[in-house]
Amino acid sequence: MDEMHLTQLGRDVRGFDSPETAVLERVPNPQSDTLYLARFTAPEFTSLCPVTGQPDFAHLVIDYAPGDWLIESKSLKLYLGSFRNHGAFHEDCTVAIGRKIVEIAAPRWLRIGGYWFPRGGIPIDVFWQSGPAPQGLWVPDQGVATYRGRG
């Protein structure tokens, strides 16, 4: 996959019914010789509870140190949106997203924080990273506070 085969950028794409059918795309990184961190934030991520079918909501923060490839952001938006009708537990959604980005873009490093809103009175935060952060990489705090409700 390369920039010549982008199927979504600049095109009218209605979205995907599931993460399995969604297409996550990459583009060449013009700064591939530089160690830096890029962040995607999805504060309105939704999926479905696989047992009840009720909606689940999360604030996702994806940090990655690109190598030769960047994740194309429109395809990421559509990929994340494909979870809206997908039933999976919080842990599965969070880790699957991180692993998919690693599979497609082969970054030097990636971490994802899934800050899930309470279900059954218990908020669940899920964290995954591809390995240790590269030496010299500035990794800022993800900036999402622990859930406190109205207190």
What pLDDT does 145 receive?
Answer: 87
Is 79 in a helix, a strand, or coil? helix
- The region, left, alpha or beta by phi > 0 then psi within -120 to 50, assigned to residue 24 is beta
Q: What are the boundaries of each domain within the chain?
A: 21-129
| C-alpha span between 30 and 139 (Å, rounded) | 21
Q: Annotated catalytic, 125?
A: no
pTM of the model: 0.90
Phi and psi of 3, rounded to 5°? -65, -20
Mean pLDDT over the full length of the chain: 91
Percent of the chain with pLDDT over 70: 91
Catalytic residue among 49, 63, 68, 125: 49
What pLDDT does 81 receive?
Answer: 95
Topology given in CATH for the domain delimited by 21-129: GTP Cyclohydrolase I, domain 2 (3.30.1130)
- The region, left, alpha or beta by phi > 0 then psi within -120 to 50, assigned to residue 143 is left
For the cut 90, the answer to whether the pLDDT of residue 146 exceeds it is: no
What pLDDT does 48 receive?
Answer: 95
Contact 28, 65 (CB under 8 A): no
| C-alpha span between 60 and 126 (Å, rounded) | 10
Q: Annotated catalytic, 17?
A: no
pLDDT tens digits for range 5-58: 776 566 676 766 778 988 999 999 999 999 999 999 999 999 999 999 999 999
**What is the mean predicted confidence (pLDDT) over 125-141?**
97
What pLDDT does 148 receive?
Answer: 77
For the cut 50, the answer to whether the pLDDT of residue 3 exceeds it is: no
Catalytic residue among 2, 12, 33, 56: 56
- State the Cα torsion 113-117-121-123 to the nearest 10°: 10
C-alpha distances in angstroms, 1 versus 25, 38, 69, 105, 151?
Answer: 8, 21, 10, 10, 48
Q: Residue 70: which pLDDT band, with cuts at 50, 70 and 90?
A: very high
**What is the mean predicted confidence (pLDDT) over 120-130?**
93
| CA atoms within a 13 Å half-sphere pointing along the CA-CB vector of 52 | 6
What pLDDT does 1 receive?
Answer: 46
For the cut 90, the answer to whether the pLDDT of residue 89 exceeds it is: yes
Q: Residue 124: which pLDDT band, with cuts at 50, 70 and 90?
A: very high
